[in-house]
Homo-oligomer: A and B are copies of this chain.
Amino acid sequence: MQQIRPRATMRDVAALAGVSLKTVSRVVNDEAGVGDAVRARVRAAVVQLDYRHHQAASDLRRGTGRTRAVGVLVQDVANDFSSRLLRSLEDAAREHGLAVLAGSLDEDPDRERALVADMVARRVDGLVIMAATSMQDYLQPEQRAGLPIVFVDREPAGIAADSVTVDNRGGARAAVDHLLERGHRRIAFLGDLPSIVTANERHLGYLESLQAAGVPADPSLAVLGLHDEDQAQRALESLFASRTPPTAVFTARNVITVGALRALRARGASWRTALVGFDDLPLFELLDPSVTAVRQDVAALGRATAQILVDRLAGDASPPRRVVLHPELVFRASSNAPV
């Protein structure tokens, strides 16, 4: 590497241009009150020294407490759902000149608290959280300090804050209703830990749907606590190994659906077993059979979340908003399997 040259400060620029520091500040910030000749001299010095504005120092001095950055904490930036949400939020943020500090929580409450603490220390202007904790009362001091917090995908507990979520229970009910209408009675449920609100809601939707149809829920058909594809795949395999295997499966999250698809494929049971998944994936349409899924409008989720955040940043102090989007059941072939 070449010789490193420390960053020039306004003081350096001022010295080179033969003006005062304040005059440089005026030029850099395009303020009035600087003659054309001096302005040009300063501009030249800025270029010559590769001066770059120091935003943190500027923010500090201005004392507005604004950093023009927002924190976005999702479950996993590599997951299809989270990453599309992140992108949607990023677009809205950039439109308002906000940078995005991103973080993955991996359903780890400690990680959530640690990342939030970091974002707070960085004085982000706002926070979007897909919570991994079951209780977010620890955020009250931050909220009191004026930090806008918007909960996305999962409603907050222990704190009154804005949220943008999806009707998980309703989506799950629609999925299971659909399978019941096709005549299925032994419907398996594969989901994540009930401590995750969305997972629990989807499980409740499953149970409600069965109950409404007068079908007794067989606890041995519901497997909870599935985090990844492998676990889901193995879970479905062992369900099939039982004496009374399911004729249909409702998978409550994208990675679980994929794991289940692998299990069905390995068993050659794809066309014999009805499947509905929560979360749509771009390729579900192209599989054989194509996969029936509960689709969330991720872009809309992100837009609504960003809108609230931006409003709050603009000073909106109205009571917490609670936006609930409704998912849509996309009918495809996988739910057509015979009973």
Contacts and interface: CB of A to CB of B under 8 A. Distances in A.
Interface of A: 1-7, 50, 52-57, 59-60, 65, 67, 69, 76-80, 83-84, 86-88, 90-91, 94, 99-104, 117-123, 141-146, 160, 258, 261-262, 265, 281-284, 286-288, 317-320
Given A121-B54, A265-B286, A283-B258, A146 B6 contact: yes
A164 B120 CA distance: 33
Contact of A100 (B52, B76, B101, B121): B101
A67 B56 contact: yes
A54 B123 contact: yes
Contacts of A1: 143, 160, 317-320
Contacts of A80: 80
Contact of A102 (B54, B90, B120): B90
Contacts of A288: 287-288
A25 to B, nearest CB: 15
Given A1-B320, A4-B144, A4-B145, A121 B53 contact: yes
A87 B5 CA distance: 32
A83 B318 CA distance: 35
B60 A56 contact: yes
A91 B100 CA distance: 17
Contacts of A119: 99
Of A67, A104, A320, most B-chain CB atoms within 10 Å: A104
Given A4-B146, A76-B87, A83-B83, A141 B50 contact: yes
A288 B104 CA distance: 33
Nearest to A162: B1
A132 B140 CA distance: 41
Contacts of A117: 52
8 contacts: A2-B144, A52-B117, A54-B123, A55-B123, A57-B60, A79-B83, A94-B103, A261-B286
B145 A101 contact: no
A27 B147 CA distance: 25
A87 B103 CA distance: 9
B104 A90 contact: yes
A227 to B, nearest CB: 15
A57 B7 CA distance: 18
Contacts of A59: 56
Given A6-B146, A146-B6, A102 B104 contact: no
Nearest to A58: B121
Given A55-B123, A67-B56, A145-B4, A100 B99 contact: no
